[in-house]
Amino acid sequence: MIEFTHVYKKYDNTTAAADFTLQIKQGEFVYVVGPSGAGKSTFIKMMYHEERPTSGKIKINEFELDKIKNHEIPYLRRELGVVFQDFKLLPRMTVFENVAYALQVIGKKPAEIKERVEHVLALVGLVNKADSFPSELSGGEQQRISIARAIAKKPEIVIADEPTGNLDPGTAEGIMDILERINQQGTTIVMATHNSTIVNERKHRVIEIESGKIVRDQQEGGFSEHE
């Protein structure tokens, strides 16, 4: 459950979020669309507390982010699987270790970690790259590792910032299949995207942000209002 109540985020001269009030229920699949610089990334980053709102309340499951203590932040992030726009892979760790890290953090046992990592790497089609380092992979492959890491711990909520941005249409479809499959198992998916084909073909709730304002919140919506 994600809840935004009158959330504002202001930078020096710009407002990245103006009065965001919305609710995303457990198990929903939500696209966040809008032009570059509209405030999509700010919206996403506020959920995992990398950006803090200037005012307003955000609630992610049981965490009230305006009241969250510093030592509680890791525990908030453990409930989320985040696919970062710039992948954020650990450069000195192999593909396997990158995915395993998210599981080590929550104290999983080595045998369980091995099984889980192999499973998600197979899902994103990168088992054969397990021992490679991120610098040896293409952008698309790094993105898939980032997705594998986000879903490995079976989080209740997956937040993805442009997860298909660097992928060819075939791979992008594959990633969408994975996201939809875990959504069907009850995971909430919040996905910022520029990919109109995907949004129009796989209909879900669409939240459109423009100049820091939510201009549309539509069930089964298209990429733009008239689609």
Partner 1 sequence: MNSLTFKRHLIESFKSLKRNGWMTVAALSAVAVTLLLVGVLLSVLMNINKIASDIENDVQVRVLINRGTSKKQENTLRQNLAKLDEVKSIRYSSKKQELKDVIGSYGKEFKLFSGDDNPLNDVFVVKAKKPKQTVKVAKQAEKMKYVYTAKYGGASAKKLFKIVDNIRTWGIGISLLLLFVAVFLISNTIRITILSRKDEIGIMRLVGATNGFIRWPFILEGAWTGLFGAIVPIIIVDFGYVWLYRILSASLASTGYHLLTPGTFLIQIDLLLILIGIIIGALGSGLSMRRFLKI
Q: How far is the CB of 211 from partner 1 (least distance, A)?
A: 27
Q: Which spans of this chain sit near partner 1 (rule: CB under 8 A)?
A: 48, 50, 70-71, 73-78, 80, 82, 84, 88-92, 101-102, 104-107, 109-110, 149
The SS3 assignment for 132 reads: coil
Q: How far is the CB of 137 from partner 1 (least distance, A)?
A: 16
Nearest to partner 1 of 102, 167 (CB atom): 102
Q: How far is the CB of 102 from partner 1 (least distance, A)?
A: 5
- Amino acid present at 205: R
Nearest to partner 1 of 105, 122 (CB atom): 105
Q: How far is the CB of 18 from partner 1 (least distance, A)?
A: 25
Q: How far is the CB of 78 from partner 1 (least distance, A)?
A: 4
DSSP readout, 10-43?
A: E-SS-EEEEEEEEEE-TT-EEEEE--TTSSHHHH
For residues 158 and 122, is the Cβ–Cβ distance under 8 A?
Answer: no
Nearest to partner 1 of 18, 73 (CB atom): 73
DSSP readout, 66-90?
A: TT--GGGHHHHHHTEEEE-TT----
Place of tokens 């710039």: 86
Closest of 2, 177, 176 to residue 79, by C-alpha: 2
Nearest to partner 1 of 76, 127 (CB atom): 76
For residues 63 and 46, is the Cβ–Cβ distance under 8 A?
Answer: no
Nearest to partner 1 of 13, 135 (CB atom): 135
